[in-house]
Structure 1
Amino acid sequence: MASLNSAEWRAVCDKFTTAQNLSEVESRKDPATDPFRSKYKARELLREIYCSLKSFEAGEGENESGAETGEQRPAEQPVDGEKEDGFGRGFSGDSPAGLRAAKLGAVEYYLGVNHVETEELSAGQEHLMNCMKLIEKCSVSSEIVSLFIHVRNQLGILWAGRDETEEAQGFLETAESIYLRYMKEEGSPPTDMAEYFTTEDNLLTHQERTKRFELAYTHTMYYLAQVYKNLGEIERAATYCHSTLQRQLQLNQYNPMEWALNAATLSQYYITKGRYMEGRHCLSAATVIADLAGEVPSEAAAQESETESERRDQLRQKRAEIARCWIKYSLNLLQDAKKLLEDNIGDLDVERQEELKRVRRGEEEEEEKGRKSAKLFGSEDTFDSIASLEEKVRCLLPLDFTEARAVFLVGQTYVTQAKDYFEIDGYVTDHIEILQDHSALFRSLAFFEEDLERRCKMHKRRVDMLEPICNDLNAQYYLLIRRQLMFELAETYNEMMDLKLTLANRQADSQSLDNHTIKKFNHLCSASAKYFQMFLDSLCSPDGKFPERLEEEVLRPALVAQFRVARLHSRLICSAPAAQLDNLNKSLDNYKYVVQYCEAHPEAAAAVETELELSQEMVGLLPIKINRLKAKMATNN
């Protein structure tokens, strides 16, 4: 084969450099009408290189035993203090044969990537498999380990793109095991594939080799995270995702906004597992790294090609998406605390609260220990900023109103940020989901509030933010969202009604309620019944007929709404017997519906066990009450 510094070999190296530039730089400038122009030019150069290598091989004939005809592998010389022992610096069998196989395999690899990038997947797979065949007889030495990993990464990506997840898993796990074995037995930075086609004066430094090799393994971990997610191995996927994000920061190879979004997304996994310390750390890191966008902290960021206005809009959107993840963090923290502290009827269990407060000091100490042992993100430049942000946000479950309010205020701050981008005009669904989360934050905070009047005001805030949206939404296009809002408004008015009645009974000197309280109570009761009925009406056909059989997704909400309407009509306070009789009859009709529907569809009973039992009881009791009222009315007349 041509010597390392011969004119022939320099020509090959020049072609390779040009091909790389066409693929990685010039291709980003290709017009939309000819998007693969530079890729095709690079392909032709790679084919020429392949032919040259075969020509060199033929020219050598059978002389494989003595001294080489001039060529030496650049990496066969110790670089920066590397040793020639250990894992095996040479190839199995003849070094020249292994060398030719590696170079030809590398060209096949680059051709495979080229075809995949130009959407010619079958041809790409063929070239990648050719690469595998060429190098499969070579030992995994420092001269070829990088190629081993890269080709398996690409095949893993290729099969994952075809939804052949287990096939992809095999290639990627093999790449991982090759990396781990090499690092255990050798550890020094191996030859990079690009060095197969370079002159002696252009070899990579020790640091550059290290960075490229570690980046290849980072890609392995990234794609394994996707594979495990698709296989349903969520915890394993989260572990690989976390490690990938760490490595990207360490190698300074990341797009700030993309990294931040991935970290924020990972936080949602930790939140669902109740691992709020890790979730908070991911979100804090996401916020800090997102603030770097607009600067150029990495090579990846420098390669962006969007126009400035598009870029600014994308940055705003992604920061708003991170804000939404913070909202979920705050909301889940409050909701988990509520579940921990509530008794069997949904009220605050004071004894449980005091017990948890007594052990809180130990929890805080454990939290600090856990934080020190956790896998933390950040370099020296960003770690302090991340830690500073974490200190402003709790990760322990709040146990009283003061602690809950601190969590609530964090969530509400990010609600404002998210709504600033996801405005109702243009982002209807997103805007409403943010409002629903804001409403849920108020509901969770209200659980901790001992003052019933203030608690009622919190629910009023929920009504004020949701009611106008619900009434203005187009029922044709946003039917499902309107149903959600109707049901939530009905439940909110119902909670306010119960609070007002409890408050009035506490304040009243006698059993009777004053007219103002009765009027307020009836207003809340009627408003709740109205929205439950609106929800039920939304289930009707265009001709106004209620469905004979309820779909599974609305079965429980519909039966609960019927039950609640029945109960609300029976609770209305009326001085006129005729109005009272009318309300009782409406109440009985709704209770009967629940009972009769479950009799006609026995499978529905399991969805509303408590409501069905109470409805059956009321169907037996209400007729007696109605008959007594009728008799009283007849006597009075």
Structure 2
Amino acid sequence: MAATENAEWKAVCEKFRLAQELSDVESKKDPENNPFRSKYKARDLLKEIRCSLKKNECEEVDVSNEADRESGQMVDEGLENDAGKACAGDSPAGLRSARLAVLEYHLGVNHIETEELSAGEQHLMSCRKLIDKCTTTRENVSLYIQARNQLGILWAGRDEIEKAQGFLEIAESMYLLYMKEDGQPPMDLEDFFVPEGEDSSQQEKTRRFEMAYTHTLYYLAQVYKNLQQYERAGQYCHTTLQRQLEYKQFVPLEWAINAATLSQYYITKACFMEARHCLAASSVIATLAGEIPSEAAAKESEAESERREELLQKRAEIARCWIKYCLNLLQDAKKLLEDNIGELDLDRQDELKRARRNDEEDKEKGRKSAIIFGSSDTFDSICSLEEKVSSVFPLDFDEARAIFLVGQSYVAQAKEYFAMDGHVTDHIEILQDHSALFKILAFFEQDLERRCKMHKRRVDMLEPICNDLNAQYYLLICRQLQFELAETYYEMMDLKLAVAERLDQLDVHTIKKFNYLCSSSMKYYQMFLDSIRSPEGKFPEKLEDDVLRPALVAKFRIARLQSKLISSDLPTQLENLTLSLESYKFVVQYCEENPEARQAVETELELSEEMVSLLPLKINRIKSKMVTTT
């Protein structure tokens, strides 16, 4: 009799193993016109096992699949009567109840994976009822956590985020409670259906249990992000990544992209050491995905072509995250160091340098121990990469330049994949970041001529793109480039003006260069303003919020530039000042007619009002001179 029972149990176990193989392995080979074929076969096997365990309540196997799939009524009401009668490990009835709960869990997952969410939910809820009245034991804790993970995913997919949060936070609490009160490797779900003596090793049980909890943390990170609890989301994402490395439960490229994405959160919090660590780990782990196939290999094999494309793309995306790191580190340093007119405050610079000498090194060492990624295999590589770029604010040109050069090297990497041919928007965004790197570096440079040359580099990289781009298809990008070029020429004009003020007399070449900068800036400001016009060429009476400040600033800057043009010819001077006055009047009049706009351009409006009263006097003096000379 015992031998017969043992043979029957082995048959049940083999059926369960086959169901798992169909679901996890064979389903990946299913044809597109029947994508769930293997999942349905696995479901049939699970139902057969369930009925064989409930011989007294199920006399024959229900093979009416189509009816079940249409109705979604997959819950065996008889199962609920077993809930709470006995818990796994207490008795044969308890073990039978736990096994039924495992089957309900797998049936629930099966239905969810075949897009039958209501039926899937019913099976998972049935699983809950079978184990919820039991105390948490080694036999049921893993099932308890995984069932709630699946319910959390289910409700998150329905945009019921708070309901998903409830299931997942209970799963988290259960793990922590179990580890505090017991902590031994618990029984895995697969262990319920293996022949006697063939259950998993303690090490394998631990690995699977920790993997289930890692999934809990991962899903909670997504939930907190959706609830806009970004700090908690960041913490859970970081812990998830740590655990994936610790238990070797990761796909290299996927892990690398997640770590790089997390770095961008840390950047928003000005946690640059954490951001750098995430990026260094991301770059190192990405290399575990292997070498990038050559172009020749990609041409010969479709699989190699797809692999090459994926590796190039992901590594380029990581490079873009490095660019943002360098750019934001420089920008935040600039905010610390600039005075009220946007120039380098030398007193503030000295103060920050003294403060750094006193405590920065100790602070960095203390924080670093809390955020380590990597194993013994990767730790040295991560540390080595971190050492190539600072995580503290640069306080002078040399420190800023070191960060700039790292950012520029990643610009070159990102542009290799995100080329203009095929990736227009991405390519231009990378160029804009490169331009921004030069702009911030110029802030740290005290030599005005060298600063001007850095801005010239910005013009050289953006102007050809701006002139070639079709505004009909890329209007927003064209506006961004036009405004940035206008501002860049404007900054160069101000620098040349500052240089000119140191000279006793301006030569013809200097005047020509200065006027060229003024005219170029005005040209791009006017192109930006013209892009706002209607198809009939009419300028809007009321500006949209997204262009309100840029448009009024453009008008104000054109007014100033027009008045700065240098000419010895009185009629030309008169014309320039008259055009300047018209632009100043436009700003004043618009704000009078639209009082809500005053706040957007408070400083520019004040100066415009002043110039509207002063310029007529200057214009009249020139007119008087013209009369006198004639």
Shorter-chain TM-score above 0.5:
yes
Structure 2 unaligned spans of 5+: 60-85, 293-300
Q: Per-residue displacement from partner, 1:152-205 (whole Å, max 9, x unpaired)?
A: 000000111111100000000000000000000000010001111111232100
Q: What residue number does 1:447 align with?
A: 443
8 A Cα contact 1:222 1:241, kept in partner: yes
Structure 1 counterpart of 2:220, which letter?
Answer: L
Counterpart mapping for 1:560-575 below 5 A:
560-575=553-568
Q: What residue number does 2:73 align with?
A: none
Structure 2 CA distance for aligned equivalents of residues 92 and 45 of structure 1? 23
8 A Cα contact 1:190 1:210, kept in partner: yes
Deviation for aligned residue 1:91: 3.0
Within the candidate set 183, 188, 195, 1:192 is matched to: 188
8 A Cα contact 2:88 2:96, kept in partner: no
Structure 2 CA distance for aligned equivalents of residues 278 and 306 of structure 1? 38
Structure 2 counterpart of 1:125, which letter?
Answer: E
Deviation for aligned residue 1:10: 1.1
1:318 paired with 2:314, answer yes
Q: What residue number does 1:350 align with?
A: 346
Structure 2 counterpart of 1:597, which letter?
Answer: Y
Secondary structure in 2 matching 1:348: coil
Structure 2 CA distance for aligned equivalents of residues 598 and 370 of structure 1? 53
Structure 2 CA distance for aligned equivalents of residues 555 and 293 of structure 1? 48
Within the candidate set 93, 115, 118, 1:119 is matched to: 115
Check 1:436–1:3 CA distance in 2 against 1; reply closer, same or farther (3 A cut).
farther
Q: What residue number does 1:375 align with?
A: 371
RMSD: 1.9
Within the candidate set 454, 457, 469, 2:453 is matched to: 457
Q: What residue number does 1:176 align with?
A: 172
Structure 1 CA distance for aligned equivalents of residues 302 and 547 of structure 2? 44
Q: What residue number does 1:134 align with?
A: 130
Q: Per-residue displacement from partner, 1:564-610 (whole Å, max 9, x unpaired)?
A: 01111011011111111111111111111111111111000010000
Within the candidate set 603, 626, 630, 2:619 is matched to: 626
1:417 paired with 2:413, answer yes
8 A Cα contact 1:98 1:138, kept in partner: no
1:608 paired with 2:601, answer yes
Q: What residue number does 2:538 align with?
A: 545
8 A Cα contact 1:23 1:42, kept in partner: yes
8 A Cα contact 1:2 1:56, kept in partner: no
Counterpart mapping for 1:221-240 below 5 A:
221-240=217-236
8 A Cα contact 1:540 1:547, kept in partner: yes
Structure 2 CA distance for aligned equivalents of residues 250 and 163 of structure 1? 32
Structure 1 CA distance for aligned equivalents of residues 89 and 402 of structure 2? 68
Q: Per-residue displacement from partner, 1:280-303 (whole Å, max 9, x unpaired)?
A: 00000000000111289xxxxxxx
Secondary structure in 1 matching 2:54: helix
Deviation for aligned residue 1:369: 2.1
Q: What residue number does 2:295 align with?
A: none
8 A Cα contact 2:43 2:107, kept in partner: yes
Structure 1 counterpart of 2:18, which letter?
Answer: T
Structure 2 CA distance for aligned equivalents of residues 2 and 426 of structure 1? 69
Structure 1 counterpart of 2:22, which letter?
Answer: L
Structure 1 CA distance for aligned equivalents of residues 410 and 3 of structure 2? 63
Q: What residue number does 1:71 align with?
A: none
Deviation for aligned residue 1:425: 0.6
Structure 2 CA distance for aligned equivalents of residues 505 and 621 of structure 1? 22
Q: What residue number does 2:83 align with?
A: none
Check 1:159–1:295 CA distance in 2 against 1; reply closer, same or farther (3 A cut).
farther
Structure 2 CA distance for aligned equivalents of residues 101 and 405 of structure 1? 67
Deviation for aligned residue 1:57: 7.4
Percent of aligned positions with the same letter in both sequences? 71
8 A Cα contact 1:566 1:590, kept in partner: yes
Q: What residue number does 1:487 align with?
A: 483
8 A Cα contact 2:89 2:139, kept in partner: no
Structure 1 CA distance for aligned equivalents of residues 4 and 290 of structure 2? 43
Structure 1 CA distance for aligned equivalents of residues 126 and 414 of structure 2? 50
Check 1:256–1:395 CA distance in 2 against 1; reply closer, same or farther (3 A cut).
same
Structure 2 CA distance for aligned equivalents of residues 161 and 473 of structure 1? 40
Q: What residue number does 2:592 align with?
A: 599
Aligned length: 596
Structure 2 CA distance for aligned equivalents of residues 124 and 219 of structure 1? 19
8 A Cα contact 1:4 1:199, kept in partner: no
Q: What residue number does 1:395 align with?
A: 391
Structure 1 CA distance for aligned equivalents of residues 394 and 259 of structure 2? 24
Structure 2 CA distance for aligned equivalents of residues 306 and 103 of structure 1? 44
Structure 1 CA distance for aligned equivalents of residues 278 and 122 of structure 2? 40
1:22 paired with 2:22, answer yes
8 A Cα contact 2:98 2:130, kept in partner: yes
8 A Cα contact 2:448 2:495, kept in partner: yes
Deviation for aligned residue 1:92: 7.8
Structure 2 CA distance for aligned equivalents of residues 220 and 141 of structure 1? 19
Within the candidate set 401, 405, 426, 1:405 is matched to: 401
Q: 4+ residue runs of structure 1 moved beyond 6 angstroms?
A: 1-5, 56-59
Q: What residue number does 1:49 align with?
A: 49
Structure 2 CA distance for aligned equivalents of residues 93 and 391 of structure 1? 54
Deviation for aligned residue 1:364: 3.4
1:528 paired with 2:524, answer no
Check 1:3–1:95 CA distance in 2 against 1; reply closer, same or farther (3 A cut).
farther
8 A Cα contact 1:3 1:9, kept in partner: no
Deviation for aligned residue 1:515: 1.0
8 A Cα contact 2:88 2:97, kept in partner: no
Structure 1 CA distance for aligned equivalents of residues 54 and 291 of structure 2? 47
Q: What residue number does 2:276 align with?
A: 280
Please identify, of 32-41 and 230-239, the stretch whose mean Cα deviation from structure 2 is larger.
32-41
Q: What residue number does 2:498 align with?
A: 502
Structure 2 CA distance for aligned equivalents of residues 335 and 218 of structure 1? 36
Structure 1 CA distance for aligned equivalents of residues 437 and 372 of structure 2? 29
Structure 1 CA distance for aligned equivalents of residues 424 and 355 of structure 2? 45
1:8 paired with 2:1, answer no
Q: What residue number does 2:239 align with?
A: 243
Secondary structure in 2 matching 1:202: coil
Within the candidate set 557, 579, 583, 1:586 is matched to: 579
Structure 2 counterpart of 1:97, which letter?
Answer: A
Deviation for aligned residue 1:312: 1.3
Structure 2 counterpart of 1:124, which letter?
Answer: G
Structure 2 CA distance for aligned equivalents of residues 5 and 352 of structure 1? 84
1:474 paired with 2:470, answer yes
Structure 2 counterpart of 1:32, which letter?
Answer: E
Secondary structure in 1 matching 2:289: coil
Structure 1 CA distance for aligned equivalents of residues 56 and 601 of structure 2? 80
